[in-house]
Structure 1
Amino acid sequence: MIGRSAVHSAEVFMFDPAAETMPRKSLGALQLERLKRVLGHAYANVPHYRRGFDAAGVKPESLASLADIVRFPFTLKTDLRDNYPFGMFALPRQQLARLHASSGTTGKPTVVGYTGADLDRWADLMARSLGCAGAAPGDVVHNAYGYGLFTGGLGAHYGAERLGCTVVPMSGGGTERQVQLLNDFGANVLCATPSYALNIAEVAEASGIDLRRSPLSYGVFGAEPWSEALRKDLQERLGIKAVDIYGLSEIMGPGVACECHVAQSGLHGWEDHFLFEVVDPETLAPKQFGEVGELVITTLTKEALPMIRYRTRDITRLDDTPCACGRTHLRIMRVTGRDDDMLIIRGVNVYPSQVEAVLVGFPGLSPHYQIVLTRAGALDAMTVEVELAPGAADDDGARERKAAEVRHHIKSMIGVTCDIAVKRQGEVPRSQGKAVRVKDQRKAPN
């Protein structure tokens, strides 16, 4: 990898030592102080929380320790939709500086709001996250996250500016131009969804532009689950360190947690601003460090939209062991999927990310795929559409043999039987933002 100049070597990363290396006992004391304050803020100003706390028989003053958070009710995405548009806000809409919203493709959109102070904190946390990922003041940050109501683009933009970087606000799409400007402007950092970064790598290769020989050194990838196999592929094809970043619009946007480029092993969750729990998604019982379950987040410093025990539906585990980078904040291990995205195929639980982990790097295949769900009688069926790698034999016999190999490998690694459709190069849809990995063609039973 041809990286940056000596001043931007791997040893240089933006640390806020007072916040990022705080002793865990001090961090817990700060969390408790801020948690008491946010519970009082939510109870006093959001009728939904007041009703929920009262029904659960708790009040803000019921909290004496961080462990007492389990006495308080959860918040769901449906709560935001039921209180559409502004019913979850703790301040009048007139006092907000910005609104964001989801697409609303499955119903009413979820609306999130920010005060000016919220936006400042968001920029600070994104700057912290980008520094953790390897970015440094003076770097060129090529931002290919989507702008607009989606929080990714503006979140990365203002965080990079806060860090002191030069931002190229590309947004998504126009991949050929993205590749040209990455090369011409000498970008050091690429911000994108991992699936779109893969598209960029592919277009660069087809254009004869070798980004591995450019100053590009780090990729900050998030907004969708991705696998270690895809990380390895992106690192090899782009000549970078590929770093995972995490966030949700309901909680803040990107920058809730980020991997460090030193260890690339779990996302440091910024505990001075968020309280993290993992619970059993079925029983809602608390899980211990290291146990897999659903991530639950409480905001500690949000003014406009405090979130109390928000169920993210993301499946992960927490790790509080020391990290090689020196940061003391716990790590959220790679999100393997969402419990509401889990597929049940002939009695086997399957996450799309598991399929990706099997396919990426498979001999003779490109890393592009799509899962198609259909219903055969009373049972769900899954077809995995995969694409041949450039130069792979694509006669009928070769494609049948490749399909049989992939089918056997998925069965042995995941335990599910599925059909495989081997496509020619370019026939699987490419991502221009968040990848659509699952195409559901099932019809409700009569």
Structure 2
Amino acid sequence: MIYNKIESASREEIEKVQLKRLKEVVNRVYHLSPFYRKKFDELNITPDDIKSLDDIKKLPFTKKQDLRDNYPFGLFTVPMSEVVRIHSSSGTTGKPTVVGYTAHDMEVWNEVMIRCYYMADVTSKDIVHNAYGYGLFTGGLGFHEAAQKLGAAIVPASGGFTQRQLMLMRDFGATILCATPSFALHLAEEAKKEGPEFRKNYKLRAGFFGAEPTSKGLREEVARAWDIEYYEVYGLSEIIGPGVSCSCNKGEGLHINEDHFYPEIIDPKTGEVLPEGEEGELVLTTLTKQALPIIRYRTGDITRLLRVPCACGRTFVRMESVRGRADDMLIVNGVNVFPSQVEHVIANTEGVSLNYQIVVDKKGYLDKLEIMVEVDDNIMFDDVAKLEKIKKELQNALLNNLYINAVVHLVEPKSIERSMGKAKRIVDKRK
């Protein structure tokens, strides 16, 4: 089922829409954003230089740090009186990355998310169990509002509380599950305790999963565990939230809503646009956003674009599932975490040094984050009460600033192995 005819339009029609919207957004940021005006002037370009889609290469890249540097609303191109929603993610200095939406932007977000739901033929007859986190994280509300607008019954379960989630799914008769794939597997593992025929207690037929990288094996395991169709959703708050792309049930890859988000693949080291079909870093330009239009945003996600026809009838370009990161960002249970963010929190905690190591592993189907931190030389390692106080302070700071639950282990000075070269800060055992 296709929601909007543009999804199955010819390449010529799609590119015509893209070029018109690209010119509009370039003109918008040039005249309304001091940040982009300066960037354009440094490159000696104006909106008049954008005459074809290929001219997008002339435009500057935008990075996550640019949003941090312009905290909170420095990149907005509308007055705050027109902003109806604000979301944010954690920041390296305690300042989050802030994104805003106008009423028009919310319509766009609902539009692309409804397209995702249409991939699984979701209708008003469905009951959608939403186990994504609510609040400043875009996941929960992104899935919520579109389902509601579509007419489906939405259960805003949010994250955690495994047994309660299962009870609601059983008792309310959920037909659609929205969650991170790791949490979906965790739910299945717990549901199996109900007996070998536990699936008979549930009415699930499909699920929408995202917010963390997945292998084909993991996707198949989730689908098999619940005996449902697996739909992968990709998005990021800087661009809009979930809904940038979504998989169908007819072919590989995720259809990018490219009438709203223009995709490119670049060499992460040189920034050069790569030839068709090559793997590299995904770059996205928002074509219809008003509050926070973004030009050539470097997502840091490694993938490739697929332009072969899809049996579902959609003609939008597809992207492969994200294979990894071009930087050192970790994704832990759907939350983005940079080592530099962790380091900043440690640096602001008394009694510990900046010699640390981050260990990520799996506990069942969920990610488990542990941080080993050396105490200061002047801390007596046998002062149990003092160590416990420091540990709790650090764990609370990580939760309050970065929204991550981490198990902190305080270790003796000089006990973490030193490296002659770059310090090995991350041990990712999930791989």
Residue in structure 1 matching 2:225, options 228, 237, 241? 237
Q: Tell me how far apart the structure 1 counterparts of residues 51 and 325 of structure 2 sit (CA, whole Å).
A: 32
Partner Cα distance (2:16, 2:143) in 1: 30
Deviation at 1:132, TM superposition (A): 1.5
Q: Is this contact kept in 1: 2:89–2:96, CA < 8 A?
A: yes
> What are the equivalent positions in structure 2 for 1:393-412 lying under 5 Å apart?
none
- Whole-Å Cα distance in 2 between the matches of residues 160 and 342 of structure 1? 31
What displacement does 1:107 show? 4.3
- Does the CA-based 8 Å contact 2:68-2:91 persist in structure 1? no
Pairwise CA distance, 1:241:
1.1
Residue among 287, 307, 312 paired with 2:274: 287
- Pairwise mapping of residues 87-236 of structure 1 onto structure 2 (< 5 A)? 87-104=74-91, 107-208=94-195, 210-211=198-199, 214-236=202-224
Paired residue for 2:3, among 10, 16, 37?
16
Query: Hey, what's the Cα distance between the residues in 1 that align with 2:235 and 2:364?
Result: 33
What does residue 337 of structure 1 align with?
324
Change (3 A) 1:310 1:386: closer
Contact 1:218 1:242 in 2 (8 A): yes
* Equivalences for residues 263-412 of structure 1 within 5 A: 263=251, 265-341=252-328
**Cα-to-partner distance string for 1:92-124 (whole Å, 9 max, x where unaligned):** 122200110102356421000000111111111
Change over 3 Å in CA distance of 1:45–1:269 after alignment to 2:
same
Q: 1:16 corresponds to which letter in structure 2?
A: Y
Tell me the amino acid that sits aligned with residue 236 of structure 1.
R
Per the alignment, residue 30 of structure 1 pairs with: 17
SS of 2:128's equivalent in the other structure is strand
Residue 3 of structure 2 contacts residue 114 of structure 2 at CA under 8 Å; is this kept in 1? no
CA 105–205 in structure 1, closer or farther in 2 if over 3 Å, else same: farther
Conserved? CA contact 1:124–1:162, under 8 Å: no
Amino acid at match of 1:156: F
Q: Could you tell me how far apart the structure 1 residues matched to 2:138 and 2:284 are? A: 18
User: Is the aligned partner of 1:247 residue 2:235?
Assistant: yes
1:44 matched to 2:28? The reply is no
Superposition deviation, residue 206 in structure 1? 2.1
Distance in 1, Cα, partners of 2:360 & 2:208: 28
- After superposition, the Cα gap between the structure-2 partners of 1:266 and 1:213, relative to the gap in structure 1 and judged at 3 Å, is farther
Question: Contact 1:193–1:223 at 8 Å: present in 2 too?
Answer: yes
**CA 1:177–1:74 in structure 2 vs 1: closer, same or farther (change >3 Å)?**
same
Which amino acid letter does the alignment assign opposite residue 188 of structure 1? T
Q: 1:85 to 1:388 in 2, by over 3 A?
A: closer
Distance of 2:406 and 2:328 partners within structure 1? 11
Deviation at 1:167, TM superposition (A): 0.5
SS at match of 2:110: helix
Match of residue 407 from structure 1: none
Question: What's the % identity of the aligned pairs?
Answer: 49
Aligned residues: 355
Partner residue, 1:74:
61
Rounded Cα–Cα distance in structure 1 between residues aligned with 2:240 and 2:291: 11
Shift of 1:182: 0.9
**Cα 1:176/1:86, change in 2 over 3 Å:** same
In 1, are the aligned partners of 2:180 and 2:209 still within 8 Å (CA)? yes
Q: Which runs of 5+ in 1 are unaligned?
A: 1-12, 344-350, 354-379, 390-433
Query: How far apart are the structure 1 equivalents of 2:288 and 2:165?
Result: 36
What TM-score do you get using the length of structure 2 for normalisation?
A: 0.77
CA distance in 2, matches of 1:338, 1:104: 18
Match of 1:58 among 45, 52, 71: 45
After superposition, what is the alpha-carbon deviation per residue over 1:134-166, rounded to whole angstroms, capped at 9, x for unaligned?
Answer: 423321110000000000000000111122211
Give per-residue Cα distances to partners, 1:326-366, cap 9 Å, x unaligned. Answer: 100000111011111379xxxxxxx999xxxxxxxxxxxxx
Distance in 2, Cα, partners of 1:304 & 1:295: 22
TM-score of the superposition, structure 1-length normalised? Answer: 0.74
C-alpha contact 2:4 2:115 (8 A) present in aligned 1: no
Secondary structure of 1:262 counterpart: coil
- For the residues of structure 2 that align with 1:61 and 1:257, how far apart are their CA atoms? 30
For 1:225 and 1:72, how far apart are their aligned partners in 2?
Answer: 29
Tell me, which stretches of 5 or more residues in structure 2 are unaligned? Answer: 334-355, 366-402, 410-415, 425-431
Give the stretch that moved more between structures: 212-221 or 285-294.
212-221
Residue type of the alignment partner of 2:302: I
Q: CA deviation at 1:213?
A: 5.7
* 1:411 alignment counterpart: none
Please tell me whether the aligned partners of residues 352 and 437 of structure 1 are also in contact (alpha carbons under 8 angstroms). Answer: no
Provide the secondary structure at the position in 2 that maps to 1:251: coil
2 CA distance for matches of 1:194 and 1:251? 22
The DSSP-based 3-state class of the residue aligned with 2:235 is: strand
The CA distance in 2 between the partners of 1:211 and 1:165, in whole Å, is 22
